[in-house]
Amino acid sequence: MSATDHRLRIGYIPLVDATALIVAVDKNFTADEGLDVDLVREVSWSNVRDKLNIGLFHAAHLLAPVAIASSLGIGHVRVPIAAPFVLGVNGNAITLTAGLHRLLSDACEGDLSDPMESAKALARVVQKRKQQGRDPLTFGMTFPFSNHNYQLRFWMAAGGVDPDEDVRLVVLPPPYMVESLASGHVDGFCVGAPWNSVAVDLGIGRILHFGCDLVARLSEKVLAVRQSYALDQPDIVSRLVRALARAADFSAVEDNHDEVAAILSAPHRIGVARDIIRGALDGRLRTARGGPVRTDKRYMLIGGGGVPRPDPVHAAWIYAQMVRWGQTPLSDDAMRDARAVYRPDLYDAALGLSDDDIPTDSIEAFAGPAFDAQNIAAYLPAWNIGRQG
Amino acid sequence: MDHGLKIVIVDESAIRAAILEEGLREAGFTQVVRIAEMNNLLARVYAVDPDVILIDLENPSRDVLEQMFQVSRAVRRPIAMFVDQSDTASIQASVDAGVSAYIVDGLKKERIKHILDMCISRFNAFSRLQGELDVAKSALEERKVIDRAKGILMKAKNLNEEAAYALLRKTAMNENKKIAEIAQSVLTAAELFK
């Protein structure tokens, strides 16, 4: 540390994909870069977005789709955002009440762990409820601009369920998810770690799918700064990216997971039991209380293997979901602006990489045509269910 | 004046919501509904069908309200946040105070500017009140600590109450500390010598 330390206020939501940020600060990686970071725990994504927008935060842990929506001015004021670092890839899961899980299992004609089969089973359950004149099923997700929303929609629609017509989707703050499932307010939800495991441990819910079953690789949370800040303070952004890269790489090593889980479980950070956090980091999640542990290394990726490098193809995919579900019309300009939120150039500059060392990533979804980031106009009409245009 | 506006206050703090409602009523707004129950919030808000919604920034359910921006078949009245880009000072003031406002799209923001201003000042007043309450509480705590320390000194050194207090005060002055801090040390020491 030096006398010229820069003070930064960074907002975050207590979720496991804030790992790189929390580890960077608590292990002094930010201090080593001459940054004096004040991590501010927030209660809502709206707060994080607004405080970043008006400059109360220099940077924030943000839902990738919120960064894009903010840059495009969808649903809120337009504030261009730059994302020089991906804090987490994947990490979500779909959890259902035991009752709905059983109904799907009974209605399933194939392997329930195959999302196409489970989605078709859902369609049958939904159809039957309709015939019986019962209320539609309700699913919780964290924000209108969230992968949780898009993943649920993507999954359901593949089986023939229209997420706007056949079921109800409601926004729920993550800490309220489990309670809402227990009270029967929702029949299922899509949320990030640790909340699926919390529901499973309490015997309230069963995990049906990991997010990576639906889309193999999807940037979930980004480090967001205002574009103007990235322009004015490139050096500080570089230092922050370096500290985060160090923390993300540290957290990607399984031998370090105990230490990382201990740091994250502190009451003033995430405040959830160490074991649950450790499970999320390891990609080992129990899918039902007393049931088997499912292991998938792709469950949540933090650091290592180029994971934190922003890939504009991911931004394009998220934008395509916004268009598909009628949140915004399709336009070439908006597409360009959405892609421009992801800043591999800032990431490379901070870490001294050249862009030809890095393989480009691809979206692998369980349904539909291969995603073509260059030609969304041709990709979108392939879907039978959607709200575009 | 738009005293016919329907205003919803979403706040889990009953006292603050009451203070806000009182302010609104004084200003002539009679259609004020308080919502303290977060379960099924959206349905509760829709049932009231408000023109203006005020919510505490520390309430996680703010994200639930954001869903109202989404145009869907079930919801025909999209709602926009009151503050816009031209209004940075207003945003700053409301964020500082800890209140956020949403209005039904189409309502001119000038028409409800004074509502937000009033809320900001009431929120600030509430924080001050809370602060004063905390100060009063800690003063009471200090008082208790000092009384107990006095008791210990009176017994141990055979002093009367006045002399015990004078001893605490003198020590505090010499060590450049607060009397309550010295009193706390006396309690700690007494605990160790037990």
Total Cβ atoms within 10 A of residue A201: 17
Q: CA of B57: which chain A residue's CA is closest? A: A47
Give residue-wise pLDDT tens across range B156-178: 999 999 999 999 999 999 999 99
Whether the CB-CB separation of A94 and A188 falls below 8 Å is answered with yes
**What per-residue confidence (pLDDT) applies to A140?**
96
Q: Any chain A CB within 8 A of the CB of B160?
A: no
The C-alpha atoms of residue A9 and residue B55 are separated, in whole angstroms, by 24
% of chain A exceeding 70 in pLDDT: 97
Average pLDDT of chain B is: 83
Question: Does residue B86 carry a pLDDT above 80?
Answer: no
Q: Among 3.40.50.150, 1.10.10.10, 1.20.20.10, 3.10.105.10, what is the CATH number of B136-193?
A: 1.10.10.10
CA A49 to chain centroid, in Å, comes to 15
Q: Choose the closest CB to A171 out of B63, B73, B81.
A: B63
Q: Any chain A CB within 8 A of the CB of B30?
A: no
Higher pLDDT, A99 or A368: A99
The C-alpha atoms of residue A150 and residue A218 are separated, in whole angstroms, by 11
**What per-residue confidence (pLDDT) applies to B15?**
87
Q: Choose the closest CB to B58 out of A43, A76, A77.
A: A43
Higher pLDDT, B93 or A39: A39
Q: Any chain A CB within 8 A of the CB of B88?
A: yes
Give residue-wise pLDDT tens across range A314-347: 999 999 999 999 999 999 999 999 999 999 999 9
**What per-residue confidence (pLDDT) applies to B111?**
67
% of chain B exceeding 90 in pLDDT: 29
pLDDT bracket for residue B14 (50, 70, 90): confident
Question: Does residue B89 carry a pLDDT above 90?
Answer: no
Q: How far is A73 from chain B (nearest CA, A)?
A: 11
**What per-residue confidence (pLDDT) applies to A361?**
62
pLDDT bracket for residue B119 (50, 70, 90): confident
Question: Does residue A1 carry a pLDDT above 50?
Answer: no
Question: Does residue B73 carry a pLDDT above 50?
Answer: no
Q: Any chain A CB within 8 A of the CB of B40?
A: yes
Question: Does residue A28 carry a pLDDT above 60?
Answer: yes
Q: CA of A185: which chain B residue's CA is closest? A: B40
Higher pLDDT, A152 or B28: A152
Same fold across A6-90+219-272+302-372 and A92-214: yes
Question: Does residue A2 carry a pLDDT above 90?
Answer: no
Average pLDDT over residues B22-39: 89
Out of A41-55, A185-199, B92-106, which region has the weakest mean confidence (pLDDT)?
B92-106
Question: Does residue B74 carry a pLDDT above 60?
Answer: no
Judging contacts by C-beta atoms under 8 Å, the chain B residues touching residue A76 are 69, 81
Average pLDDT over residues B121-144: 85
Q: Any chain A CB within 8 A of the CB of B38?
A: yes
**What per-residue confidence (pLDDT) applies to B41?**
87
Sequence-ordered alpha helix ranges (H) in chain B? 14-26, 41-48, 62-66, 88-97, 109-157, 161-175, 179-193
**What per-residue confidence (pLDDT) applies to B118?**
81
Q: CA of A172: which chain B residue's CA is closest? A: B64
Total Cβ atoms within 10 A of residue B157: 10
Question: Does residue B75 carry a pLDDT above 50?
Answer: no
**What per-residue confidence (pLDDT) applies to B84?**
56
- Test the A interface: residue of B70, B83, B95 with most A CBs within 10 Å: B70
Judging contacts by C-beta atoms under 8 Å, the chain B residues touching residue A165 are 73
- Closest to A161 in 3D by CA, of A140, A169, A380: A169
% of chain A exceeding 90 in pLDDT: 85
pLDDT bracket for residue A384 (50, 70, 90): confident
- Domain ranges (residues) in chain A: 6-90+219-272+302-372, 92-214
CB contact under 8 A, B66 and A326: no
pLDDT bracket for residue B107 (50, 70, 90): low
Q: Among 2.60.40, 3.30.70, 3.40.50, 1.10.287, what is the CATH number of B7-132?
A: 3.40.50
What's the per-residue H, E or C state across chain A? Answer: CCCCCEEEEEEECCCHHHHHHHHHHHCCHHHHCCEEEEEEECCCHHHHHHHHHCCCCCEEEEEHHHHHHHHHCCCCCCCCEEEEEEEEEECEEEEEEHHHHHHHHHHCCCCCCCHHHHHHHHHHHHHHHHHCCCCCCEEEECCCCCHHHHHHHHHHHHCCCCCCCCCEEEECCHHHHHHHHHCCCCCEEEEECCHHHHHHHCCCEEEEEEHHHHECCCEEEEEEEEHHHHHHCHHHHHHHHHHHHHHHHHHHCHHHHHHHHHHHHCCCCCCCCHHHHHHHHHCEEECCCCCCEEECCCCEECCCCCCCCCCHHHHHHHHHHHHHCCCCCCCHHHHHHHHHHECHHHHHHHHCCCHHHCCCCCCCECCCCCCCCCCHHHHHHHCCCCCCC
Q: CA of A167: which chain B residue's CA is closest? A: B74
**What per-residue confidence (pLDDT) applies to A330?**
94
Neighbouring residues of A143: CB distance < 8 A, sequence distance ≥ 6: A45, A63, A65, A66, A149, A171, B63, B66
pLDDT bracket for residue B72 (50, 70, 90): very low
pLDDT bracket for residue B194 (50, 70, 90): confident
Q: CA of B100: which chain A residue's CA is closest? A: A47
CB contact under 8 A, A144 and B38: no
Q: Choose the closest CB to A45 out of B63, B74, B88.
A: B63
Same fold across B7-132 and B136-193: no
Superfamily per CATH, domain A6-90+219-272+302-372 = Periplasmic binding protein-like II (3.40.190.10)
Give residue-wise pLDDT tens across range A165-216: 999 999 998 888 999 999 999 999 999 999 999 999 999 999 999 999 999 9
Report residue A219 as tokens: 């940037």
Question: Does residue A250 carry a pLDDT above 60?
Answer: yes
- Domain ranges (residues) in chain B: 7-132, 136-193
Judging contacts by C-beta atoms under 8 Å, the chain B residues touching residue A52 are none
Out of A140-154, A349-363, B17-31, B151-165, which region has the weakest mean confidence (pLDDT)?
A349-363
Average pLDDT of chain A is: 93
Average pLDDT over residues B150-156: 94
**What per-residue confidence (pLDDT) applies to B2?**
58
Give residue-wise pLDDT tens across range A62-95: 999 999 999 998 877 789 999 999 999 999 999 9
Higher pLDDT, A114 or B60: A114
CB contact under 8 A, A176 and B38: yes
Which run of H or E residues covers position B34?
strand B32-35
Question: Does residue A372 carry a pLDDT above 90?
Answer: no
- Closest to A46 in 3D by CA, of B103, B67, B21, B6: B67
CB contact under 8 A, B73 and A45: no
Torsion, Cα A107 A112 A117 A122, to 10 degrees, reads 50
- Closest to B59 in 3D by CA, of A12, A47, A270: A47
**What per-residue confidence (pLDDT) applies to B79?**
58
Q: Any chain A CB within 8 A of the CB of B69?
A: yes
Architecture of domain A92-214: 3-Layer(aba) Sandwich (3.40)
Question: Does residue B106 carry a pLDDT above 70?
Answer: no
Q: Choose the closest CB to A171 out of B64, B71, B74.
A: B64
CB contact under 8 A, B66 and A143: yes
